[in-house]
Structure 1
Amino acid sequence: MSEGAESPSELAARVKAGDRGAVARALNLVDDRRSARRADALVLLDALEGQGRGRRIGLTGAPGAGKSTLLDALATGLRARGRTVGILAVDPSSRKSGGALLGDRFRMGASARDAGVFFRSLAARDQLGGLAEVAGASVEVLAAAFDVVFVETVGVGQSEASVADFVDTLVFVAQPAAGDLLQFMKAGILEWPDVFFVNKSDLEGLATRTATELRAGLDLGRGEDPADRPPVLSGSARDGVGIDALIDALDAHHAKQDRTGEFRRRREAGRLARIESALVRRYGRFGLARLGGRPALEAFVAAHPARSAEGVIDALGARFEAGFAAKSEP
């Protein structure tokens, strides 16, 4: 670090103070692929890990469901309640540049001009479910600076399962007449979400039918006590209908997580899942087996001093590469 340059610890302090410029610099740092910057990124992430006040909410659903319009309406509603909002939108990647195709503010409305809303696009980079490898680190940065953090996915593949590793609450946005109950169940979309929102309720008959099918699917597929099943809400993001009820449902889910201890359990499980996913992505299932399977991974994570998932991932990588190098020596 050159004289007068901002240290990772100083940057972390400014992020936690809500400095928008510092947030942008921190996001650039964790997205920097150069090895020379990796050490600074890990110091920053260790300083931010577990410090974020921000609740993390995933927004997923098929393209065309109106996720971006809903996101804009939610941000506006939360700002009216005095909360700051950070948004991470995982966009399709340009095949030529690898960057996000849609840009930071292309799809946002009035909330994009609000100083209490921070928006960042992230290229999917062909990761499963459209989630970039750097998404977890970016969420940590945003959660340290803002009251509520949204992660919006491109809504393809296994995005519901993937985004669940990064968030406290997952919202599935359905559009009327997008499919019948059998299609919902076959696609597996009933397994992960904590809240369902049927958008475009101005299509009254179709929206009512879709909500009814979702509730029926939850009755059949989730096996929970009826009181614990995810709520299915309807509204129109374009017209601002149902937005307050959705925010109330998100708050109720957060309160329940705090009350039952699910909040901490979900954070810990998500961190472990991110580490395991990175390990398998780099070294395949052989890598996990070589470590000793899931129990050995859990023990390694529990014992390692790094606070951030990224720090543990790098430590695992160094361990494997050292083992491979030793094995290849004559």
Structure 2
Amino acid sequence: MSPQPFPDLPSLRDAGKAGVARALARLERSAGTAEAAALLDAADAAPRGEVLGLTGPPGVGKSTLTGALVRGFRQAGETVAVIAVDPSSSRSGGALLGDRARIPSDPEDRGVFIRSYAARDRLGGLSDLAFGATILMRALFDRVIVETVGVGQSEADVAIVGDTILLAVQPASGDALQFIKAGVMELPDVVVVTKADLGAPARRARDDLESALSLANRDEPGWEAPVALVSSDSGEGLDLLTSHLAAHSAFLRADGRLARRRRAQADARLLAAIKGRFGTEGVRAARELLDRLEGGPFAREAEAARILSERLRRG
């Protein structure tokens, strides 16, 4: 008996939380198949919302901030999906901490969907499954927040999935200096200093970050990343942060910047997936293949992987 086809995007938009959860579970089971690639390519070609990539070190308050942003977006009438990437269990490989348990939401609210993924063996902060889930959620919801695992300097993966990258830093932690030394300041589009209620230490962290950002070499000229002081518990600074995010969204939508960023991200995700399976030599071989293959990025990835696997079997 042949498996039932994947539901199409209009059906998924009306399927509710249970229907979306079933589609994601099936995508995980069918990863790499032509059917999964077809659904993901359809989602990639029909983005509905924008993706906010939230990164920062463990303990900075990313989940609390995510919860505050979700509330703000819902109050504005927008639907929100959250992809929370957790550390992996060394035994099962599954999500260890379950970040979604720390993101407050109303289970009866059909406009919010939260899913956790394990980082597994990727040091870049996101898993391969989270990439596909983000693309699908982008086609179904007005906003998608991708909260990375929080491993600090290795989280460049978020830059190949987020339209806007938000870096969270806490005051009096030494994080600002570490990020400056690591060159991370070239990554974010907006920076938030959490725990603004600490007062002077938070203001010092803001000043240090603003100085570092002024020296960063950014890929997208014309935008200077602003820094907001925020207390997620009291709500202080959230309006300013939201205005910064809205300003960056408007900046991206001018002069075709958003389309260019997403095309570059699709190419980077494809090569990252090939590298994860076949290594550096596989990427070199894939570059030659990809120029000849047709279809969307997920179909091209699946076909390139099939060809490379066949070459390996032949020796």
TM-score, normalised with respect to structure 1: 0.87
**Residue 274 (structure 1) aligned to one of 265, 269, 276:** 269
Paired position in structure 2 for 1:30:
27
**Is the Cα–Cα contact under 8 Å of residues 129 and 155 in structure 1 kept in the other structure?**
no
Say whether residues 1:255 and 2:250 are aligned partners.
yes
Does residue 16 in structure 1 map to residue 8 in structure 2? no
> What secondary structure is seen at the aligned counterpart in 2 of 1:49?
helix
**Mapping for residues 236-255 of structure 1, pairs under 5 Å:** 236-255=231-250
Mapped partners of 1:143, 1:209: distance in 2: 36
Matched AA of 1:22 = G
1:299 maps onto 2:291 in alignment:
yes
- Provide the identity percentage: 42
State the one-letter code of the partner of 1:56: V
The answer to whether the Cα contact below 8 Å between 2:88 and 2:119 also exists between their aligned partners in 1 is yes
Displacement of 1:168 after TM fit? 0.4
Give the aligned residue type for 1:136: F
Find the partner of 1:219 among 214, 223, 230.
214
Q: Cα offset for 1:227?
A: 6.3
- The root-mean-square deviation of aligned C-alpha atoms, in Å, is 2.4
CA contact (8 A) 1:73 1:237 kept: yes
Counterpart position of 2:150: 155
The correspondence for 2:190, drawn from 195, 204, 224, is 195
Take 1:325 and 1:97, find their aligned partners in 2: how far apart are those partners?
29
* Contact 2:85–2:99, Cα closer than 8 Å, also in 1: no
**Paired residue type of 1:167:** G
1:6 CA drift (Å): 4.9
Aligned match of 1:310: 298
Unaligned runs of 5+ in 1: none
Q: Is the 8 A contact 1:193 1:230 kept in 2?
A: yes
Which one-letter code corresponds to 1:282 in the other structure? Answer: R
2:131 is matched with 136
Counterpart of 1:66?
A: 61
Q: Does the 8 Å contact 1:128/1:157 carry over to 2?
A: no
Which residue number in structure 1 is paired with residue 82 of structure 2?
87
Question: Which stretches of structure 1, 4 residues or longer, exceed 6 Å deviation after superposition?
Answer: 223-227
Unaligned runs of 5+ in 2: none
Name the aligned partner's letter for residue 7 of structure 1.
P
What is the alpha-carbon distance in structure 1 between the residues aligned to residue 219 and residue 131 of structure 2?
A: 29
Q: What's the secondary structure of 2:47's corresponding residue?
A: coil
User: How big is each residue's C-alpha offset from its partner over 1:138-163, in whole Å with a ceiling of 9 and x where there is no partner?
Assistant: 00121121100000011115543111
> Which of 274-283 and 62-71 deviates more?
274-283
How big is each residue's C-alpha offset from its partner over 1:173-211, in whole Å with a ceiling of 9 and x where there is no partner? Answer: 110112175422112220110000001000010100000
Q: Does the 8 Å CA contact 2:125/2:155 hold for their aligned counterparts?
A: no
Rg larger for: 1
Report the Cα offset of residue 224 of structure 1: 8.9
Instruction: Pick closer, same or farther for the CA change 1:18–1:50 going to 2, 3 Å.
Output: farther
Q: How many residues align?
A: 315
CA contact (8 A) 1:180 1:213 kept: no
TM-score (norm 2): 0.91
Contact 2:38 2:298 in 1 (8 A): no
Instruction: Tell me the distance in 1 between the aligned counterparts of 2:34 and 2:221.
Output: 48
2:16, 2:110 within 8 Å by CA — same for their partners in 1?
no
Mapped partners of 1:273, 1:226: distance in 2: 20
For 2:219 and 2:158, locate their aligned partners in 1 and report how far apart those are by CA, in whole Å: 22
Instruction: Specify the SS of the correspondent of 2:231.
Output: coil
Question: Using the alignment, how far apart are the partners of 1:205 and 1:278 within structure 2?
Answer: 44
Amino acid at match of 2:291: A
Given that 2:84 and 2:100 are in contact with CA atoms closer than 8 Å, whether structure 1 keeps it comes out as no
Residue 170 of structure 2: aligned partner: 175
Partner residue, 1:127 = 122
Confirm or deny: 8 A CA contact 1:160 1:192 kept in the other structure: no
**Conserved? CA contact 1:100–1:122, under 8 Å:** yes
Deviates further, 12-21 or 147-156: 12-21
